[in-house]
Amino acid sequence: MFEERLAAIRDKRVKIAVIGLGYVGLPVACVFAQAGFQVVGVERAKEKVHQIRQGLCPIGGKEPGLAEMLTQVVQSGRLTATTRYEECRDAGVAIIAVETPIDRETRKPNYEALRLALVSLGGHLLRGTLVVVESTIAPLTMDKMVKPILEEASGLRAGEDFHLAHCPERVQPGRLLYNLEHMSRVIGGMTPEAGQLALELYRHIVRADLDVTDCLTAEIVKTTENAYRDVQIAFANEIALLCESLGADVWKVRELVNKCPHRDMHLPGAGVGGHCLPKDPWLLIANTPEDFQAHLIPVARAVNDGMPLHMADLVVKGLWRTGRDVRGSQIAVLGYAYLENSDDTRNSPSEVLVRRLRELGAKVVIHDPYVPLYQGDLRECLRGCDAAVLMVAHDEYRRLNPTELDVPVVVDGRQVWEDKAGPWFISLGKGGWRV
Ligand code: SAJ
């Protein structure tokens, strides 16, 4: 059975089911279909399935090549989309790419979508199937949750009747297709055979290292690589706040620090959003035993979560310096996506800033060239505003000069603009504002 399955994957004779057609699953489904596999995408959102069936890409923002590839594989019949798990009954490979968010209060994983996917898939699991979880999960989840749920729902035994692996996604909005082909991947096999089958599968689409290991290592690697970045960003943000307090320029400090070998100070900014960094550090420490206490990881999260609130403080200071009260002021928030040139608003720092400014009694207007709800004429949005806050370094904003904004106070949270004579200009991380 194993050898036959290995040969079937090698020769692309297995049907692949991809469960969850979001930022992770949709590119994966397209690329495997493009590689010559028959692929069925199972997605709970009916409107997304409808769009995909028409060959239309439901993911906005700049995603080079994705929309074209989707149209091609749908028109060729290689990729089909459905809301029904029955349609993956004859799949020899199942890839699970559903969301695994963190509960905002408890900081614990919300596995509702993953649990539903596992139970639904389990009900249609074929003997010999390779199940790969691409979703980012807390260490020990494969062993303590994924395996038992699939066994219970299918009546089959992992390792004997079906194979289980964890190949964490490494997607980046704006480079979804590029990363899939060019970024190395970790493959955690529940058994050596599962690792080998997954290796054979991903060899069809990945042109970078495929590192086979065990499930626990793969779970820790993925969540650690993002916790590492989150801590690095938090350090940069702390130095930005320090420079503000001392009247220095963090951008100049960062430039000179990074000239020192083995230094790579990240970019201070208005906050850390997205589907990875705000949650993966919490996933990393979610299942640690009582006798382990994380210190650095939670503190780094607190520093980064505090940045949009600091942006609100800078706005209040700027208004005050120009004789205005935040209460009753009209403030334009420029950028609502979590990342430049993307339409992805998940865990957006701007959401925190907007809520805070409204709590302080300000009238807030939002602009974002990529987010449909907030597109429109920027100058119209700025008309009559007392302040403008730049939260996301979209290319459209980079092309502007702050004096063109024609508002009395400008706060730059991403070092996009230089301080030019004109509005009362505050840049995050730069102390010594004009008195
Ligand atoms: N950010 C900063 N300062 C920085 C870098 C980012 O404030 O120096 C902010 C961004 O504005 C954004 C958030 O952090 O709000 C996340 O930015 P990101 O560049 O980390 O983008 P993500 O969230 O899409 O992270 C992805 C992750 N990729 C995968 O999970 C495969 C992450 O591991 C990558 O390191 C990151 O892309 C990347 O390298 O671009």
**Rounded CA separation 79/225 (Å):** 32
Ligand 1 centroid to Cα of residue 220, in Å, is: 18
Answer yes or no: is pLDDT of 435 > 50. Answer: no
Residue 422 has what pLDDT? 65
Which has the minimum average pLDDT: 61-70, 253-262, 271-280?
61-70
What stretches of 203-340 show up as alpha helix (H) in DSSP? 215-246, 250-257, 280-284, 296-305, 307-321
**Rounded CA separation 221/366 (Å):** 37
Helical packing angle, 296-305 and 215-246, nearest 10°:
50
Write down the catalytic residue from 276, 279, 385, 430: 276
Write down the catalytic residue from 222, 279, 381, 385: 222
Share of the chain above pLDDT 70, in %: 98
Residue of 171, 241, 276 best suited for mutating to test ligand 1, as the one with most atoms within 8 Å of CB: 276
Ligand 1 centroid to Cα of residue 339, in Å, is: 8
Give the tens place of pLDDT for each residue, 402-420: 888 889 999 999 999 976 6
- Residue spans of the domains in the chain: they are 2-223, 306-434
What stretches of 324-431 show up as alpha helix (H) in DSSP? 349-359, 378-382, 395-398
Give the tens place of pLDDT for each residue, 320-352: 999 999 999 999 999 999 999 888 899 999 999
Residue 343 has what pLDDT? 86
**Rounded CA separation 224/284 (Å):** 7
Of 271, 380, 362, the residue nearest 319 (C-alpha): 362
Closest ligand 1 atom to Cα of 340: 11
Residue 148 has what pLDDT? 98
| Mean of per-residue pLDDT scores for the chain | 95
Ligand 1 centroid to Cα of residue 181, in Å, is: 19
Q: What is the C-alpha radius of gyration for the chain, rounded to an integer number of angstroms?
A: 24
Residue 173 has what pLDDT? 80
The binding-site residues of ligand 1, defined as CB within 6 angstroms of any ligand atom, are 170-173, 225-226, 229, 233, 266-267, 269, 272-274, 276-277, 338-339
Distances (CA, A) of 371 to 202, 306, 341, 390, 417: 33, 24, 10, 15, 22
Answer yes or no: is pLDDT of 423 > 80. Answer: no
Give the tens place of pLDDT for each residue, 209-235: 999 999 999 999 999 999 999 999 999
- Look up the pTM and report it: 0.93
Ligand 1 centroid to Cα of residue 277, in Å, is: 7
Same fold across 2-223 and 306-434:
yes
Domain 2-223 fold: Rossmann fold (3.40.50)
Closest ligand 1 atom to Cα of 179: 31
Answer yes or no: is pLDDT of 160 > 90. Answer: yes
Closest ligand 1 atom to Cα of 273: 15
- Which amino acid residue places its CA nearest to atom 39 of ligand 1? 172
Residue of 185, 266, 272, 412 best suited for mutating to test ligand 1, as the one with most atoms within 8 Å of CB: 272
Residue 121 has what pLDDT? 97
**Rounded CA separation 82/50 (Å):** 9
Active site residue 144: no
Active site residue 276: yes
Ligand 1 centroid to Cα of residue 148, in Å, is: 33
Give the tens place of pLDDT for each residue, 357-398: 999 999 999 999 999 999 999 999 999 999 999 999 999 999
Q: What is the CATH number of domain 306-434?
A: 3.40.50.720
Give the tens place of pLDDT for each residue, 204-215: 999 999 999 999
